[in-house]
Structure 1
Amino acid sequence: MAFYFRWLLRITGGFVVLIALAIAVVYYLASRSLPDYNKTLRVEGISAPVEIMRDNANVPHIFGETDADVFHGLGYAHAQDRLWQMIMLRRTAQGRLSEIFGSRTLDIDKLLRRLDLYRLASSSVEAQDTRTVDLLEAYAQGVNARIDEVNRDALGRGAPEMFLFPHAVAPWRPADSLVILKLMALQLSSHLEEEVLRARVSIALPDPERLRDIMPDAPGSGIAALPEYSALMPEMPRFAKTTPLPDHPLSPFKPRAFAGASNAWAAATSRSAAGGTILANDPHLGFSAPSTWYLARLELQSGGVIGGTIPGLPTVLVGRSARLGWGLTSSYLDDQDVFMEELDPDNPQEYRTPDGFKPFETRKTIIEIKDEAPVTLTLRWSDNGPVLPASHYSLGAVTPPGHVPALGWTALSGEDTSMSAAIALMGAADIEEALDAGEAFIAPAQNLTLVDDERIALKLIGAMPRREDAHRSKGRLPSLGWQPENRWQGHFDYSANPEFVAPVGGILGNTNNKIVERPFPLHVSYSWGDSQRVKRWQRLMQGRQVHTRDSFMEAQLDTVSSAARSLLPLIGADLWFTAEAAPKGTPERQRQRALALLAEWNGEMNEHMPEPLIYSAWLRALQERLIRDEIGTLAEEFTHVEPLFIERVFRDIDGAAAWCNVIRSATEETCADMARLALDDALLWIAEHHGRQLETLRWGDAHQATHDHPVLGEVPVLRYFVNIRQSTSGGDNTLLRGRTSGKEPAPFTNVHGAGYRGIYDFADPDSSVFITSTGQSGHFLSRYYDDFAQLWRRGEYIPMSLDADLARAAAVGTTTLRPRR
């Protein structure tokens, strides 16, 4: 027995030693790619030494003799900290993910190849102004300097992910930066899906008049009634297979609920306590680890610039200089249209145009797939845009027989000068110069909020499609591509873009809400991203005569839901205080406990409170009960509660209370019945997922922010090291926006929000504050991988100054790039 015991100990000890050695080897290999921020390196492509000084938050402050040298330094710094992220963005946009991940990402690659973004980006390089081309090339040289250093010095392949997914890394090119901007446009676009979904719902509804309820227009829009979709098309398919979007963390095809959101507001000197203009901005994107955003400071010939960059893009997209501050919010400009192209019955390689049938432009492309045979695609373009597969956003469900869908989209330009506009904006001295720079911006369309020393302004930048007054669907439904009245007539002049400069009230802002009321085709959009957050913003802005950096900070972090405050009295009107006391343990007693909690609640979506969870579950269950009966499985497309829909139903606007009656039942249900049943549904769901003790529930347990690594986040064991999960406040309709996933089994997980926050007070510019949602580094072994995460969660910020001496005093490392002679 002792003999066997000794051998068991030896074998166990051997396994422990082997595991320890394996961990040590893995750690050694992974840590080799940790950047050394204190060094001197000789590189090609710079005219004089470049200094990259890292402050104590690992924010690089980059100094050089010329702007090209500074951009070289930015490229090097981006590649030091986020090389894997940059490579994945490039591969995604190129449609080359399957070379690494196999057939799992094939659908993503197919769709990206059909859009042909990389070819369009390559041709757009020549459309940039000379200075932008020079800076793009300098930035690319900086990225390549880091890649060369990694290869030469065997620095762990540049990132830990490279060991799990080894592949050759091609040199960075200017087109790589331009295509990432187009990829951002894709992530922020929603009108294609909006058109298709509107068409599908109009076909499914028993009463087409009810379409305005479930897909409501922003208040005050005054839209005339549209024709039924079937009336626009020659013949509709009776049955059509629908396919969901590619479900992969790297997929840029986001459902319309995540098509982009953001907040920005500005105060003029007359509304500032300290006498200087103030700007707050927090653009919203899907959460990931590392964050999309990366903080940096560039010392250009025109002066210092500091703020948020995106690795791969050589520009400070949001931030400030000594003279100007700028922020971005999604404009929701209707910049996409679906065209149904009629095929020639005798030759399906041709499609109908106003002048007769015409051949598609075609080109073959080959997709390499790891461990499988390559796939050859034939890309087709009509005059209106690329032909898309019927599976994309369920286009097949609204495509008539003998037709194929094509996409018109402003981002599909081979002469896209948006990068030139972004780079010119950094050097603008005042609002006029910044507005002039915005004229070259094409896509993604954004609302640009500006402050200089004295004034504030807001301008929509991006190409506005010029549609005909006689457009059959006004861009709201797919239309026949050969009809002249449906085709785009170029773009409106930049002067037609909405603009607000130095308003009398001294306050400007945008929460993706409707900003103008203009007739079609100058309407900008019929679909906007917000109708609720703006209500709370208006109250906070009007509640003070003057504002400070701290009051703007409070607004950025505000968690009160105006939607909850307005909807709860409506849906609970016939439930509160109307029932007799119920025995313990009964559903009626649980309902009464929930109603008692909500009766005392002020709508604050605080992570430590139970009421936000009860409210959110109730509204979700209520919308499901209201719409499932009418539109069947299409209800699954409505993953988030639409407050305007609930309000229309319970106020019975234009007969919207009809949604409360279940058409398949013999009795006639009232809205009070549906509210009661939905509350019971919600409490049952809460009991199954979070327990029956309502008073001990925490919204933050359900509303966890999921900063997940897009590739390693699903790998067992590793996911505990690379994913960042946090209990958070806020919700879908709060200024501190935490967009929920909308998917079971965790529909309230926080997956989309402010990855960057910045507040700039020009009364004291060096008091400006910034934060991102994770950290500067993309290396999970770095202490800078998640050091911002808890600050971000608590609503804290870091200061960032353009004072070089302050940065040097807090420096944790300095990299000096010297010309190679």
Structure 2
Amino acid sequence: MATLFRWLLRFASMAIMLSVIVVLLVYYLASRSLPEYDKDLAVAGAAAEIEIVRDNAAVPHIFARSDRDAYFGLGYAHAQDRIWQMVLMRRTAQGRLSEVFGRRTLDTDILMRRLDLYTAATRSVDAQDATTTQALRAYAAGVNARIAEINDQSLGRGAPEFFLFNAPVAPWQPADSLAIVKLMALQLSGQFRDEILRARTSLLLPDPNRLADILPDMPGDGTAALPDYAGLFPNRDMPRFAASSEGPRDPLSPVPERGLAGASNAFAAAPDRSAGGGTLLANDPHLGLTAPSTWYLARLQLSSGGVIGGTIPGVPAVMLGRSQDLAWGLTSSYLDDQDLHIEELNPENSEQYRTPEGWARFRTRRSIIEIKDDTPVTVTLRWTENGPVLPRTRFDLETITPPGHVVSLNWTALAEDDSSMSAAIGLMRAGSVEEALESSGRFVAPSQMLTLIDRDSIAMKLIGAMPARDPAHQSQGRLPSPGWIEANRWQGMLPDSANPVWTDPDGGIVGNTNNKIIDRPFPMHVSFDWGDSQRVMRWTQLMQGRQVHTRDSFIEAQLDTVSPTARTLLPLIGRDLWYTGEAAPDGTPERRRQQALDLLANWNGEMNEHLPEPLIYAAWVRALQERLIRDELGPLAERFNHVEPLFIERVFRNVDGAAVWCDVIRSVMVETCSDIARQSLDDALVWIAETYGGSLESLRWGDAHQALHAHAVLGEIPVLRHFVNIRQNTSGGDFTLERGRTSGRDPEPFLNIHAATYRGVYDFADPDSSVFISSTGQSGHFLSRHYDDLGTLWRRGEYIPMSLDAELARAASIGVTRLIPE
């Protein structure tokens, strides 16, 4: 027995030693790719010495003797910290993910091949001006210098992910940067998903009043009545009640879910509304939370002066930030720049489709998709005059497409003469609001609201190409329309002069929270679907609540967590419940309901992570909307997994008879809205008890509203995901200025998955007191201390200095990289 014990001990000791050796070996290989910031390196492609000074937050300050070398340095810094992120985005745009990840990403690759964004990017290289072409080439050379360094010095393949996934890195090309901009356009575009949902809902709810309830228009005039979707296709068998066949979402898919196509805040104050006498600008673009963040903070010293702010790895431009004399911010404009067309196939020749002039052949091309450890797949890509044909099995398209038809997409980002990069480079070099507005005319996609300040002026403008639609368009671009009818087709683009712009308004304040910005009749309307009807109310209150603003008051507004939605809805849905219940003993559902109502009655609507009321409120309105729509919409109700405040308000105010939603059509009784409100509160309290237990007073919103910064690939691997994903309790919610968009999906419906991934506040009364922050850290390497260090500050609502003072950067430097020409 003693001998057996000794051998078992030896085996256990050997197993532990082997495990330790494996862990140490993995750590050694992974740590080889950790970037070294303090070094001299001889590189090919630089014209003169380039100095990259990294301050104590690892933000690179790039100094060079020419603009070309400055872009070279930015390319090197991006590749040093984010090479895996850059390669992954490039592969996504190219439709080449399956070469690395196998069949699980095949649907995404097929979609990207059909959209053909990379070809459009390649052809757009020639559309750039000379300055931008030089920047693209120099940036690519800087990226390739880092790739060469990794290969020559065996630096762990550049990132730990390359050990797990064999993804050979080809040299960077100028077209790669343009493709990433187009990929961002896809991530920020959701109009075609809204068209599909509106069509599906229309087929179930032919009453236009009920459609206007569940998919309400933003307040304001200008929206005409829509036709019944099925009526657009007479004598065709519409799949009215087809169930969705779409499988689980690919985490690497760049196509956003509904409601996650970008959001943001930006607001500016003129000198006479500023306590310091200088202009002010605050900006926080909202994107999906990832680790690392989309944004990479950087400073470039150009011949036109210093530029500092948020860059996107792979793109040679400060996309939002400030220079010595100008600051700019971006928000999603919600311009309707996408249209779906239903294309009729020739029943006698499936290679043809109907046009206004008769049958025409599809433009086609065969494309081979290589798949890791599997047989390659050949896809025949097809285009109509309206755009590429989409896969029928994606986005529930099969539920709205008649037999014998296919769906095509028209979208501004498919342009092959896209000069958006030249506009971005020009923006960095502009010295005034006037110059910036002039440069902005070259933006094509993604469309954004551009907010600008110089030392004296403020402005806001919608940038990006606006499609020219026929006034007789059958659906006004709100529903998929017959592609063979001339009136439904785009007629080019509107001139830049048609884009709304506001310069130095009398009130001295401009801003955008993705709200409706203008009320013009179709087809000059900009959009029928906007991203916000709630945050703008709180923003207006905060801006007009004081005569003058400061940097700190702008920060306070940026971090505000009061929900105007909660303040509006609670008095409506609870008006017949407060103080009306009979006495009930402890432990009964009636007593728990009374306790919840007592808490909510004394709550001011602040979605603070430490309070129980936000969780009770959020669970209540979620259960309420589910009860209101489930019997009418059936499985389609799953597509409405976020609360729509205007819908609930219409129902409880009985606008155009909307209270009919409260009656459960499958029951004998006639339920009132008060009945549904009480039942849904009970539903919410049962769910809370099952999920969190304990007393209501001990609940904490932050426990449910955790920000999940997930690694796009490693975040799904057991054990490893605990090291690469970042979770943080957060305040805010779907409708607060400090927005934290919830997942809407069980088992964690209130998980914060979409928020401000960058925050910046710029003050031209004292420019070097400007501040910024990103949501994770500068490094994409999970072993780096800079992987999540900024995320800790971000979660607390703190910032780091945004200074163009070179000496300040050097004084707090953690390393200086000198790139020396070979």
Aligned equivalents of 2:650, 2:243: Cα separation in 1: 32
Question: 1:149 — aligned with what?
Answer: 149
Aligned equivalents of 1:24, 1:328: Cα separation in 2: 45
Decide which of 444, 448, 451 is 2:450's aligned counterpart. 448
Q: Is the 8 A contact 2:209 2:656 kept in 1?
A: no
Decide which of 471, 484, 487 is 2:486's aligned counterpart. 484
Aligned equivalents of 2:531, 2:664: Cα separation in 1: 30
Alignment-mate amino acid for residue 348 of structure 1:
S
TM-score for the superposition, normalised by structure 2: 0.99
Question: 1:782 — aligned with what?
Answer: 784
Q: Is the 8 A contact 2:627 2:680 kept in 1?
A: yes
Displacement after TM superposition at 1:800 (Å)? 2.0
- Residue identity (%): 68
Question: 2:341 — aligned with what?
Answer: 339
Displacement after TM superposition at 1:206 (Å)? 5.7
Q: Any gaps of 5 or more consecutive residues in structure 2?
A: none
Aligned equivalents of 1:692, 1:787: Cα separation in 2: 34
Q: Which moved more, 1:236-245 or 1:770-779?
A: 236-245
Question: 1:325 — aligned with what?
Answer: 327
Paired residues for 1:744-783 under 5 Å: 744-783=746-785
Q: Is the 8 A contact 2:206 2:228 kept in 1?
A: no
Question: 2:589 — aligned with what?
Answer: 587
Paired residues for 1:503-514 under 5 Å: 503-514=505-516
Question: 2:415 — aligned with what?
Answer: 413
Aligned equivalents of 1:539, 1:333: Cα separation in 2: 26
Alignment-mate amino acid for residue 509 of structure 2:
I
Q: Deviations over 1:562-610 (max 9, x none)?
A: 0000000000000000111112211111111110110000000000100
Alignment-mate amino acid for residue 65 of structure 2:
E
Aligned equivalents of 1:631, 1:719: Cα separation in 2: 37
Displacement after TM superposition at 1:15 (Å)? 1.2
Q: Deviations over 1:295-316 (max 9, x none)?
A: 0000000000000001011100
Displacement after TM superposition at 1:222 (Å)? 3.8
Alignment-mate amino acid for residue 224 of structure 1:
A
Question: 1:310 — aligned with what?
Answer: 312
Question: 2:180 — aligned with what?
Answer: 180
Q: Is the 8 A contact 2:53 2:817 kept in 1?
A: yes
Displacement after TM superposition at 1:456 (Å)? 0.4
Q: Is the 8 A contact 1:236 1:398 kept in 2?
A: no
Aligned equivalents of 2:253, 2:247: Cα separation in 1: 9
Alignment-mate amino acid for residue 237 of structure 2:
M
Aligned equivalents of 1:309, 1:285: Cα separation in 2: 14
Aligned equivalents of 1:281, 1:210: Cα separation in 2: 37
Matched length: 820
Question: 1:393 — aligned with what?
Answer: 395
1:370 aligns with 2:372: yes
Question: 1:539 — aligned with what?
Answer: 541
Alignment-mate amino acid for residue 233 of structure 1:
F
Displacement after TM superposition at 1:722 (Å)? 0.7
Aligned equivalents of 2:89, 2:759: Cα separation in 1: 22
1:116 aligns with 2:116: yes
1:646 aligns with 2:648: yes
Alignment-mate amino acid for residue 115 of structure 2:
L
Aligned equivalents of 1:245, 1:132: Cα separation in 2: 41
Question: 2:559 — aligned with what?
Answer: 557
Displacement after TM superposition at 1:692 (Å)? 4.1
Aligned equivalents of 1:426, 1:370: Cα separation in 2: 41
Displacement after TM superposition at 1:243 (Å)? 3.0
Aligned equivalents of 1:221, 1:2: Cα separation in 2: 89
Question: 1:51 — aligned with what?
Answer: 51
Q: Which moved more, 1:489-498 or 1:689-698?
A: 689-698
Displacement after TM superposition at 1:241 (Å)? 5.3
Aligned equivalents of 2:468, 2:166: Cα separation in 1: 47
Displacement after TM superposition at 1:8 (Å)? 2.1
Question: 1:237 — aligned with what?
Answer: 238
Aligned equivalents of 2:467, 2:237: Cα separation in 1: 28
1:733 aligns with 2:739: no
Question: 1:132 — aligned with what?
Answer: 132
Tell me the SS of whatever aligns to 1:317: strand
Q: Deviations over 1:26-66 (max 9, x none)?
A: 11000000011111111121211110110111000001111
TM-score for the superposition, normalised by structure 1: 0.99
Tell me the SS of whatever aligns to 2:237: coil
After the TM superposition, which parts of structure 1 deviate over 4 Å for at least 4 consecutive aligned residues?
none
Question: 1:259 — aligned with what?
Answer: 261
Q: Deviations over 1:704-731 (max 9, x none)?
A: 0001111111112211111110000000
Displacement after TM superposition at 1:548 (Å)? 0.2
Tell me the SS of whatever aligns to 2:81: helix
Aligned equivalents of 1:233, 1:527: Cα separation in 2: 24
Alignment-mate amino acid for residue 357 of structure 2:
D
Tell me the SS of whatever aligns to 1:372: coil
Question: 2:71 — aligned with what?
Answer: 71
Displacement after TM superposition at 1:355 (Å)? 1.0
Aligned equivalents of 1:23, 1:399: Cα separation in 2: 53
Displacement after TM superposition at 1:809 (Å)? 0.9
Displacement after TM superposition at 1:237 (Å)? 2.8
Paired residues for 1:192-341 under 5 Å: 192-205=192-205, 207-234=207-234, 235-238=236-239, 240=242, 242-244=244-246, 247-341=249-343
Displacement after TM superposition at 1:246 (Å)? 5.6
Q: Is the 8 A contact 1:107 1:246 kept in 2?
A: no
Aligned equivalents of 2:255, 2:223: Cα separation in 1: 29
Displacement after TM superposition at 1:244 (Å)? 2.6
Q: Is the 8 A contact 2:222 2:521 kept in 1?
A: no
Q: Any gaps of 5 or more consecutive residues in structure 1?
A: none
Aligned equivalents of 1:737, 1:462: Cα separation in 2: 25
Change (3 A) 1:245 1:491: farther
Q: Is the 8 A contact 2:208 2:226 kept in 1?
A: no
Question: 2:608 — aligned with what?
Answer: 606
Alignment-mate amino acid for residue 63 of structure 1:
F
RMSD: 0.9
Question: 1:7 — aligned with what?
Answer: 7
Question: 1:464 — aligned with what?
Answer: 466
Q: Is the 8 A contact 1:294 1:776 kept in 2?
A: yes
Paired residues for 1:10-25 under 5 Å: 10-25=10-25
